[in-house]
Amino acid sequence: MNKNISSRDRGWQAVFDRYNLDNHDFCNQPYFIKAEQIKAATKHFETTGEREVRILCKQDTRESRPEVFKKLGLFILPVKNGEYVILKGEGYVDIPIIETPRQNYRTLLDFQLETSLIGDSEMQHLDFAYASSLIRHFMKDNSLVLTIRGRKYTPEFTLKINDHVLKIKGVQTEVDAGYEGKNQIVLIKAKNLSIDNVIIRQLYYPSRQWQLHTKKKIVTLFFAKKSNIYYLWKFEFENPDNYNSIKLVDSARFEIIS
């Protein structure tokens, strides 16, 4: 066995072999696959990386896809609990380098948050940015308050990818923070700055989910911190029903100063 082949590659090649997916016409038809089918094709493997459905289907960046997906230009989406769809097309959005000058942002706090100095998690950095009112400053909305956090399940909705219409229901989503203001709701995904792309699903599914619960405008931010610099990217979907209508509308980087 070639040791240079990853566990994910071996697992997915077994799935493609079992269901003859190398001969499937992905250009004309997505392929729906259930978790039970993936388990059946990979049950002979010993390691969890080769047979665990959750791990095999976690493809958050273009680079994290198995080789067979890269070769055929595929990506995978959950459509309901225990069921996925494999599609041909662009499933990811770039997180571009922010080339505009760094801005100094003076915190509105009049005391030091000592607890913010302990640890180095994405959530901790996001909370500090919010406590300093950086999120409100970037969004030009002083009415924003924290109201959303954690995992939830989507209600039923449909989306369009290329010429295909998919029904989504009961898929788990996770928002690192959501802020509601008088006229808008801002959803944030916090990530490591080392990545330069992310699967659109992580931004799109929560956006659609909350659109079904409010008439307020939904805005999605991508957040990262490196050293003492806070990075923010603002995305919107030009057509809420279209998965690929995502557009970067603003970005900036800040250093928070006292």
Instruction: Report pLDDT digits (tens) over 206-238.
Output: 999 999 999 999 999 999 999 899 999 999 999
- The answer to whether residues 109 and 77 belong to one domain is no
Dist. CA 167–CA 85, nearest whole Å: 11
Residue 63 has pLDDT above 90, yes or no: yes
- The answer to whether residues 85 and 112 belong to one domain is no
Q: Report percent pLDDT > 90 for the chain.
A: 83
Residue 1 has pLDDT above 50, yes or no: no
Does some domain include residue 200?
Answer: yes
- The answer to whether residues 210 and 138 belong to one domain is yes
Confidence at residue 23, expressed as pLDDT on a 0 to 100 scale: 96
Out of 38, 59, 89, pick the residue that ends a domain: 89
Residue 151 has pLDDT above 70, yes or no: yes
Which CATH number fits the domain that encloses residue 179? 3.40.1350
Does some domain include residue 26?
Answer: yes
User: 197 with 95: CB under 8 angstroms?
Assistant: yes
Residue 106 has pLDDT above 70, yes or no: yes
Confidence at residue 121, expressed as pLDDT on a 0 to 100 scale: 85
- The answer to whether residues 73 and 121 belong to one domain is no
Dist. CA 128–CA 122, nearest whole Å: 10
Q: What is the mean pLDDT of residues 23-47?
A: 95
More confident residue, 115 or 144: 144
Residue 72 has pLDDT above 70, yes or no: yes
Q: Containing domain of residue 203, as a range?
A: 103-257
Dist. CA 11–CA 8, nearest whole Å: 5
Helices 35-42/7-18 angle, 10° precision? 100
- The answer to whether residues 27 and 57 belong to one domain is yes
- The answer to whether residues 249 and 146 belong to one domain is yes
Confidence at residue 21, expressed as pLDDT on a 0 to 100 scale: 98
Does some domain include residue 218?
Answer: yes
- The answer to whether residues 222 and 250 belong to one domain is yes
Dist. CA 244–CA 160, nearest whole Å: 8
Does some domain include residue 207?
Answer: yes
Dist. CA 208–CA 246, nearest whole Å: 12
Does some domain include residue 95?
Answer: no
- The answer to whether residues 43 and 109 belong to one domain is no
Across the chain, mean pLDDT equals 94
The tally of domains found in the chain comes to 2
Enclosing H/E stretch for 9: helix 7-18
Residue 203 has pLDDT above 50, yes or no: yes
How many residues make up the chain in this entry? Answer: 258
Does some domain include residue 152?
Answer: yes
Of 155, 138, 147, the residue nearest 222 (C-alpha): 138
Of 180, 139, 173, 137, the residue nearest 153 (C-alpha): 173
Q: Report percent pLDDT > 70 for the chain.
A: 98
| Strand bridging mode 197-199 / 164-168 | unpaired
Confidence at residue 120, expressed as pLDDT on a 0 to 100 scale: 78
Confidence at residue 5, expressed as pLDDT on a 0 to 100 scale: 77
Q: What is the mean pLDDT of residues 188-217?
A: 94
Confidence of residue 26 (pLDDT cuts 50, 70, 90): very high
Beta bridge partners of 92: 199
- The answer to whether residues 122 and 148 belong to one domain is yes
Least confident of 26-30, 53-57, 189-193: 189-193
User: 223 with 231: CB under 8 angstroms?
Assistant: yes
Confidence at residue 214, expressed as pLDDT on a 0 to 100 scale: 95
Of 245, 193, 243, the residue nearest 222 (C-alpha): 193
- The answer to whether residues 39 and 128 belong to one domain is no
Residue 46 has pLDDT above 90, yes or no: no
Confidence at residue 4, expressed as pLDDT on a 0 to 100 scale: 61
Out of 39, 54, 89, pick the residue that ends a domain: 89
Displacement of CA 206 from its chain's centroid (Å): 9
- The answer to whether residues 195 and 241 belong to one domain is yes
Does some domain include residue 97?
Answer: no
Dist. CA 146–CA 121, nearest whole Å: 18
User: 173 with 209: CB under 8 angstroms?
Assistant: yes
Does some domain include residue 1?
Answer: no
Out of 64, 89, 114, pick the residue that ends a domain: 89
Confidence at residue 47, expressed as pLDDT on a 0 to 100 scale: 85
Least confident of 26-30, 43-47, 91-95, 181-185: 43-47
- The answer to whether residues 248 and 175 belong to one domain is yes
